[in-house]
A = this chain, B = another copy of it.
Amino acid sequence: MTLARISEDELVSKLRAIVDATRTTRVRLGIGDDAAMWQPSRSHRSAITTDALVEGVHFTRETMAPAEIGWRTAVASLSDLAAMGARPVLATIALGVSPQSGVEELLEIYRGIAQCAAAACLAIVGGDVTRSPVLSLTMTAVGEVRPAHAKTRSGGRSGNVVAVTGDLGAARAGLDVARGAVSLGDAELERGALLAFRRPSARVREGRWLAASASVRAMMDCSDGLSTDIARLCEASGVGAHLDAVPIAPSALAAARALNEDALAYALCGGEEYELIVAIERRAFSHLASRFAARFGRRLHGIGALRAQRGVVLSRDGGEVPVPRTGWDHFKG
């Protein structure tokens, strides 16, 4: 059987069955979350996460400048740490390059990595450089979190409010603009969309702040698209979700309108966005959301609720429609 015939999640579950045999008592959280965790000392946990970016799969040189490719490399790892509530500490980079690559282009990529990392106090401490037929960048980042603050995907409970830390779909609108596939008819909107695509932000401060609240039961980032990632959170938590208010970015609304597409698809299946999905105890949500808005100057959007009935559904046209897991899958994409 080839990989094309199974899903990424199925493959990961088979690989997990093999490597779970190596698990030791030091490990507090293994494969299956945004990051793994271990306990180096009593006072804190460390989180570790690995993300690879491959040319032609995650980026092309046509739509992204070298520094933007670097930025994206760092933001993916930072976002995984944010989802655990962890403070970034350090990272390594494995660089795969062809001998025909330009040295200046690689240095620009590293400048993009360093800019994004430095802003989050993530030190780049090492790595490996190898020949490779395509450009590839693999970052592994380590962060720290107090044991009581560490959040996972699996703590969600029926009745929890599901929230996201920002509106969704702007990164996909930005890709449309970068490809020249659409004009949004508004310079400000186009600039915002391109920024969301080229220099997205990881919600590191927001993640640490949310993690400090006992009312926050589960967190993950939605880098593979809300529809895929909410399904993963639900599966890990043993629940389903009912969504009724997915916030769509204005640039996604404009792009969908111009292309005669469904704007909700931008928000549900966009991917390459780094907002956090958060499950919060219902009684605490509105107070937490006001404190969040006061602290970060942005909304914590309630988008629905977790419920006992499995599967993810969406209110639409007065009824409930199932949300397919149509996010990014690396073998089908």
Chain A residues proximal to chain B, CB less than 8 Å: 1-4, 6, 8, 11-12, 14-15, 18-19, 21-24, 26-27, 29-33, 35-36, 38, 40-41, 43-44, 46, 48-54, 56-58, 89-90, 92-104, 106-107, 110-111, 113-114, 117-118, 121-134, 136, 138, 140, 142, 144, 330-331, 333
Contacts and interface: CB of A to CB of B under 8 A. Distances in A.
5 contacts: A2-B103, A11-B103, A31-B126, A48-B90, A48-B140
B140 A90 contact: no
Given A11-B103, A14-B103, A49-B126, 18 more contacts: A2-B101, A2-B103, A8-B129, A11-B129, A22-B122, A22-B123, A23-B123, A23-B124, A29-B125, A30-B123, A32-B126, A38-B90, A38-B142, A50-B92, A50-B140, A53-B130, A58-B130, A99-B331
Q: Which of A19, A110, A114 has the most CB of B within 10 A?
A: A19
Which of A8, A12, A50: most chain B CB closer than 10 A? Answer: A50
Contacts of A333: 131
A100 B331 CA distance: 9
- The SS class assigned to the A binding surface is mixed
B126 A50 contact: yes
Contacts of A96: 52, 54, 136
B99 A21 contact: no
A50 B131 contact: no
A92 B52 CA distance: 12
Nearest to A98: B3
Given A121-B24, A129-B330, A136-B136, A40 B38 contact: no
Contacts of A131: 54, 57, 330-331, 333
Contacts of A97: 3
Given A136-B136, A138-B52, A41 B40 contact: yes
Contacts of A58: 130
A291 B105 CA distance: 51
Given A90-B27, A140-B140, A133 B133 contact: yes
Contacts of A126: 30-33, 35-36, 48-50
A214 to B, nearest CB: 25
Contact of A51 (B6, B29, B43, B128): B128
A294 B33 CA distance: 45
